[in-house]
Structure 1
Amino acid sequence: MTAAGLAMIEAELGRLREDMARAEAESDRERVALAARDLRYWTARRESAELSVPDAASDVVRFGMTVALEDEDGKAARWRIVGEDEADPAKGSISHVSPMAQALFGKKTGELVAVNGREWEIVGLSAEA
């Protein structure tokens, strides 16, 4: 998990604790049950989370890196490879288990990857968010 993903989990846990306290104060048993369920889920995710910081000197695609791509038509794309809970393709982040991320892992700048019938060239790597 990236540092941003870990911060997202911590924020969600804080929000859920506050929601649980309000629901308990209002004696809203249904909201208490829902908050308790979500707290169990996010607490388990936090307990199993492993922070991963990519090596800035790495010349191959790794978890947490941002990869710049270009397809055969010159269309550019940038993807940051993140954990499942923090993936948001609309904001440029994809899950490490996605077909694109799986195709990219271990590849270097200049190499080609094929995903869903399209070929992409890796044109840049960055360990920054």
Structure 2
Amino acid sequence: MNKAFTKEEDGSTPQRLPDLPISQHPNHVTPEGLAQLQARKVALEAEIERLRGHGDHMAGTWPLAVAERDLRYVEARLASAIVIAPPEDKAPPGHVQFGATVRVADEDGREAVYTIVGEDEAAPSDGLISAHSPLARALLEAGVGDVVEWPKPTGIVELEVLDIGFAR
């Protein structure tokens, strides 16, 4: 048979993908972030079980390798998670801290609301920013009425802290 019509192992089907990089920062998470990681682990385990249930023809496939790699990442993040719960009394804190929701106004008076969360929980389009992001670093430890400088690629933006709380 012509070699062009035979399938040889060429390494294109992964047996195990390299692990995803793990942040060097402490893995602080909110209680919601921990729950999200736990739910993601359960979903990945179910996906792996489903893919393996398709028999030998799924062994070594990209979807399975990706799911296994992602599960290793989530398990590592769960193992290193440091849960930072909001204060029991939910009283407004005197300064911006991990887990806090902050309302700010820029130089033009446009307001925005951000919540400082862990890296795996961050969703900037939803106002959830990683504690290690430039914006969060600018806001952390600021109090109501403080003006902070947020370094952006387009220049420095001044933000006034209008309100701090634990809204989540």
> Shared fold by TM > 0.5?
yes
Structure 1 residue aligned with 2:43: 15
1:33 aligns with 2:56: no
After the TM superposition, which segments of 4 or more aligned residues of structure 1 sit over 3 Å from their partners? none
Find the residue that maps to 2:120 and give its secondary structure. helix
Structure 2 residue aligned with 1:70: 105
CA–CA distance in structure 2, aligned partners of residues 75 and 33 of structure 1: 45
CA–CA distance in structure 1, aligned partners of residues 85 and 138 of structure 2: 20
CA–CA distance in structure 2, aligned partners of residues 33 and 87 of structure 1: 25
Find the residue that maps to 2:77 and give its secondary structure. helix
TM norm structure 2: 0.73
Find the residue that maps to 1:108 and give its secondary structure. coil
Q: CA RMSD in A?
A: 1.2
Find the residue that maps to 2:158 and give its secondary structure. strand
Residues 38-66 of structure 1 deviation map (CA, whole Å, 9 limit, x = unaligned): 11110010111111113333211000000
Residues 54-84 of structure 1 deviation map (CA, whole Å, 9 limit, x = unaligned): 3333211000000000112111010000011
Question: Unaligned stretches of 5+ in structure 1?
Answer: none
Q: Which amino acid aligns with 1:81?
A: I
Task: Identify the structure with the greater helix proportion.
Answer: 1
The structural deviation recorded for 1:32 is 3.2
Q: Which amino acid aligns with 1:72?
A: E
TM norm structure 1: 0.94
Structure 2 residue aligned with 1:92: 127
Larger RCO, structures 1/2 (Cα 8 Å, 6+ apart): 1
